[in-house]
């Protein structure tokens, strides 16, 4: 049986205090279930931004999408997580990933490491966080057992997600080899099928199945979906308009077509938790209204 939908808005544009609170209130008005923030240089600092979002809203959960583990020491992160959960009244959801933008590590003068080293660091971070936050001696104390999201598509990441995550976040894209600025290329629906199947195989022994999340990169409610995806096609080598419209991270078409695709992707992949980027928050709102509670 499918999980009911949840919808998140990932707030990627920094703003002054009142504008930030207004944006968060607008996300709540539009029916979003989760207000999320990323962890990139040049964007908002995650934890104070979420505390401000909590002060401006009453209903949505609040999450990181996702923290770059390479930026964080586990003991200091545990303090941030517990404090933020307490200040937001137990509304926090913690998203963690390895980080994929080498240029940000270089700017921060932090080691980037190989893919294997980054996964190892993420594993140590998750395990140490779990130990610290579950200890009655840790101060401050979180209000709740903070739900953990882990994002990534590689085999070692999927194993880590299957072992520890309450929410498994899939990306419909992969990093460009050798690129240091975080450029990504979309993967095909069939490639995503294989990654989700691999995760399910690794997660067979779980007592509770995880919620499955996907990040939507483009939303356009339009009678001309081909025109909406043409800029994407121009940036991605060997991608046709037809292939772009089939990508799991692209929702372009009429409201009825997009709603049908979201339902079909829940059936195909199990994605019941959809995150959209802030620039598409308003465009996606009619879909949220149609599918909320389903």
CATH topology of domain 6-291: TIM Barrel (3.20.20)
Polymer length of the chain: 294
274 contacts 8 by C-beta, under 8 angstroms = yes
Q: Which H/E stretch holds residue 124?
A: helix 115-133
91 contacts 62 by C-beta, under 8 angstroms = yes
Domain boundaries, the chain: 6-291
DSSP of 10-70: E--S---HHHHHHHHHHHHHTT-SEEEE---TTS--HHHHHHHHHHH-SS-EEEES-EEGG
C-alpha count within 13 angstroms, C-beta hemisphere, residue 294: 13
| Residuewise pLDDT in 10s, the chain (294 residues) | 789 999 999 999 999 999 999 999 999 999 999 999 999 999 999 999 999 999 999 999 999 999 999 999 999 999 999 999 999 999 999 999 999 999 999 999 999 999 999 999 999 999 999 999 999 999 999 999 999 999 999 999 999 999 999 999 999 999 898 899 999 999 999 999 999 999 999 999 999 999 999 999 999 999 999 999 999 999 999 999 999 999 999 999 999 999 999 999 999 999 999 999 999 999 999 999 999 999
């Amino acid at each position: 049986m499918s999980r009911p939908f949840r919808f998140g808005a990932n707030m990627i544009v920094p703003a002054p205090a009142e504008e930030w609170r207004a944006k968060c209130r607008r996300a709540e008005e539009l029916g979003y279930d989760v207000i999320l923030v990323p962890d990139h240089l040049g964007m908002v600092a995650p934890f104070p931004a979420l505390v401000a979002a909590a002060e401006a809203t009453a209903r949505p959960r609040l999450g990181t999408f996702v923290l770059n583990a390479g930026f964080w020491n586990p003991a200091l992160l545990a303090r941030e997580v517990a404090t933020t959960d307490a200040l937001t009244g137990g509304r926090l959801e913690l998203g963690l990933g390895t980080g994929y933008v080498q240029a940000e590590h270089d700017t921060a003068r932090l080691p980037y490491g190989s893919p294997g080293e980054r996964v190892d660091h993420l594993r140590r971070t998750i395990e140490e966080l779990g130990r610290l936050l579950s200890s009655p001696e840790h101060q401050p104390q979180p209000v709740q057992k903070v739900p953990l999201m882990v994002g990534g598509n590689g085999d070692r990441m999927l194993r880590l997600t299957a072992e520890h995550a309450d929410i498994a976040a899939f990306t419909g894209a992969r990093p460009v080899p050798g690129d240091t600025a975080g450029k990504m290329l979309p993967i095909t629906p069939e490639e995503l099928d294989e990654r989700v199947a691999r995760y399910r195989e690794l997660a067979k022994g779980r007592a509770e199945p995880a919620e499955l999340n996907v990040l939507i990169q483009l939303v356009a409610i339009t009678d001309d979906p081909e025109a909406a995806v043409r800029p994407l096609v121009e940036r991605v080598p060997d991608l046709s308009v037809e292939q772009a419209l089939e990508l799991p991270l692209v929702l372009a078409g009429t409201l009825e077509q997009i709603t049908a695709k979201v339902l079909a992707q829940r059936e195909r992949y199990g994605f019941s938790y959809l995150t959209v980027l802030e620039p598409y928050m308003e465009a996606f709102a009619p879909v949220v209204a149609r599918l909320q509670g389903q």
